[in-house]
Amino acid sequence: MDKIIIHGGRRLEGEVRISGSKNAALPILMSSLLTEGVNTYANVPDLRDIDSTLLLLAKLGVRVDAGAGTVRIDAGGLNSHEAPYDLVRKMRASVLVLGPLVARLGRARVSLPGGCAIGARPINLHLRALAALGADITLDHGYVTASASRLKGAEIYFDLVTVTGTENIMMAAVLADGTTVLRNAACEPEVVALADVLNRMGAEISGAGTPDITIRGVSGLHAVAADIIPDRIETGTFMTAAALTGGLVTIRNCEPNHVGATIDKLRQAGAEIRVEGRTITVRGGDKILSVDIKTQPYPGFPTDMQAQFMVLMSVAEGVSVISETIFENRFIHVSELRRLGADIRVSGNTATVRGVARLSGAPVMATDLRASACLVLAGLVAENTTEVQRVYHLDRGYEALERKFAGLGAAIRRVR
Ligand code: EPU
């Protein structure tokens, strides 16, 4: 299995280009199921989760053609309504076929995703919303089956803000009979990106990006050509790495409006940040100051940046309190950071991080994508050598992470 080896202590300097967003690309690729004709998507990142998505679409009978950041999808041959356990197990976001398949074929059978390293992550809200649209839902042998000859528009109130739940139901409702209103919908940029693509396909969605989304059902959608938006979590990860190493990094091809909370926290931590168009320049301060963070749905501080920010706080001056409010078990990186010398105490959903003068390299591993990214960041500042194992987690969601860091002057390499 691959591992990443880092000799810490180098200041990052130079330019890095941000890839397309994983979490925007996944639902947009799935939305092709709603159309006839050939959809063309550009700026699609080269990631394992994208490969899993394309494999799933191919299993459903869809024609997929991918290369050099462009993916063409023709769902004309769609002939299956089942997402099997083997694929859903590898990628929870496979549940995003549920909404489009019921809308297009009147039926979907999808393996229930189990819990994962960061929490139980049920899909009860997706199912309750589909039932509100008139789908008949049954659970058997680890699969959920949803069926409806045609979904009917309804007013749906989400108990919790759910990103893929909002996306799934938006895709279900676009072909429903009548109008659907989603209340307490997720406001994440990935939801807006999906709504934009659906609208270009002929859907009638308004309010995406606010907690109230209105979807007027239409009778059919057509294929489109669309670009995937830049990845805001990759952007935040590079910004944090620049601040962490006292570096000077210019981040190109990003969307600064999507990373407001991270920019704000990094400035409070002492970094100097300049924004010009689609470019962000981060200059690390002389010292790193402690700041508190609390993860929240967008536009709050993203849970997907919590682990990376914790590394920064591990070497800050003072004490930082980090509260994780989205997932119940998203501190799996803490014990690994402690092995590198970090002083972190966890009580419930709060981590108290006392900055230390230095981290020292060691072999580490994590069981989740962002936790793995946090360990790479830790390796960039730790003394001597850090070996990050289970790299396949990183490959799920960061395109060429080690090559991008190497391009900024880090001593980092992958060994097979
Ligand atoms: N939840 C429920 N019931 C549901 C749905 C969600 O209880 O039916 C709970 C979850 O267990 C969690 C909270 O609601 O405690 C929020 O979960 P959400 O549904 O918003 O998460 P998600 O849609 O499964 C997406 C991203 C995650 C990101 C979260 C939060 C994708 C494919 N995944 O997951 O990304 O952390 O939103 O922003 O968009 C990552 O990229 O590393 C990643 C985990």
SS3 labels along 178-230 = CEEEEECCCCCHHHHHHHHHHHHCCCEEECECECCEEEECCCCEECCEEECCE
Read off the pLDDT of residues 186-195 as tens digits, 9 standing for 90 and up: 999 999 999 9
The residue nearest atom 25 of ligand 1, judged by CA position, is 163
Kindly report the number of other CB atoms within 10 A of residue 65's CB atom.
12
Q: Is the Cβ atom of 24 under 6 angstroms away from ligand 1?
A: no
Segment 374-384 shows an average pLDDT of 98
124-132 and 98-105 are packed helices; what angle lies between their axes, rounded to 10 degrees? 20
Q: Tell me, what's the pLDDT at 416? A: 87
Q: Is the Cβ atom of 128 under 6 angstroms away from ligand 1?
A: no
Segment 40-53 shows an average pLDDT of 97
Ligand 1 closest atom vs CA 369: 42
11: left (phi over 0), alpha (psi -120 to 50) or beta: beta
- Residue 114 scores a pLDDT above 80: no
The percentage of residues in the chain with a pLDDT greater than 70, rounded to a whole number, is 100
Segment 19-23 shows an average pLDDT of 98
- Comma-separated ranges of CATH 3.65.10.10 domains in the chain: 3-19+230-415, 22-227
Strand order across the 279-283 sheet: 13-17, 248-252, 279-283, 272-276
> Would you give the distance in Å from CA 358 to the centre of its chain?
30
pLDDT band at 57 (very low <50, low <70, confident <90, very high): very high
Q: Tell me, what's the pLDDT at 113? A: 85
Q: Which two tokens stand for residue 340?
A: 């590198």
Q: Tell me, what's the pLDDT at 337? A: 97
Residue with tokens 């008949």: 136
Eight-state DSSP code of residue 11: P
The Cα–Cα gap between 274 and 263 comes to 10
Residue 116 designated active-site? yes
Helices and strands (DSSP H and E) totals, the chain: 14, 26
The Cα–Cα gap between 282 and 271 comes to 7
Cβ neighbours of residue 336 closer than 8 Å, sequence gap 6 or more:
364, 365, 366, 371, 375, 378
- Residue 116 scores a pLDDT above 80: no
The Cα–Cα gap between 377 and 237 comes to 8
Q: Which two tokens stand for residue 184?
A: 């307490």
Q: Tell me, what's the pLDDT at 121? A: 86
Please tell me the total number of residues recorded for the chain in this structure: 416
Segment 45-62 shows an average pLDDT of 96
Find out whether 302 and 21 touch, Cβ atoms under 8 Å. Answer: no
pLDDT band at 117 (very low <50, low <70, confident <90, very high): confident
- Residue 295 scores a pLDDT above 80: yes
The Cα–Cα gap between 113 and 142 comes to 9
The percentage of residues in the chain with a pLDDT greater than 90, rounded to a whole number, is 93
The residue nearest atom 13 of ligand 1, judged by CA position, is 326
Q: Is the Cβ atom of 53 under 6 angstroms away from ligand 1?
A: no
Using DSSP, state whether 63 is helix, strand or coil: strand
* Angle, CA 332 vertex, CA 329 and CA 334 arms, to 5°: 120
SS3 labels along 86-118 = HHHHHCHHHHHHHHHHHHHHCEEEEECCCCECC
Mean residue pLDDT of the chain comes to 96
- The CA-atom distances, in angstroms, between 168 and each of 60, 118, 201, 251, 269 are 17, 21, 16, 32, 37
- Residue 366 scores a pLDDT above 90: no
Q: Is the Cβ atom of 52 under 6 angstroms away from ligand 1?
A: no
- Residue 326 scores a pLDDT above 80: yes
C-alpha 163 – ligand 1 centre gap (Å): 6
Q: Tell me, what's the pLDDT at 221? A: 97
Q: Is the Cβ atom of 31 under 6 angstroms away from ligand 1?
A: no
Using DSSP, state whether 360 is helix, strand or coil: strand
Strand order across the 82-83 sheet: 82-83, 107-111, 143-147, 136-140
What is the dotted CATH code of the domain comprising 3-19+230-415? 3.65.10.10
Q: Tell me, what's the pLDDT at 318? A: 97
**Does the domain formed by 22-227 have CATH 1.10.150.130?**
no
Beta-bridge mates of residue 413: 5
Cβ neighbours of residue 56 closer than 8 Å, sequence gap 6 or more:
83, 87, 91, 94, 97
Ligand 1 closest atom vs CA 190: 39
pLDDT band at 289 (very low <50, low <70, confident <90, very high): very high
Find out whether 296 and 280 touch, Cβ atoms under 8 Å. Answer: no
Identify the CA nearest to 393 among candidates 47, 25, 23.
47
Q: Tell me, what's the pLDDT at 1? A: 81
Read off the pLDDT of residues 215-272 as tens digits, 9 standing for 90 and up: 999 999 999 999 999 999 999 999 999 999 999 999 999 999 999 999 999 999 999 9
The residue nearest atom 37 of ligand 1, judged by CA position, is 163
Segment 65-82 shows an average pLDDT of 95
Read off the pLDDT of residues 161-212 as tens digits, 9 standing for 90 and up: 999 999 999 999 999 999 999 999 999 999 999 999 999 999 999 999 999 9
Model confidence pTM above 0.95 = yes
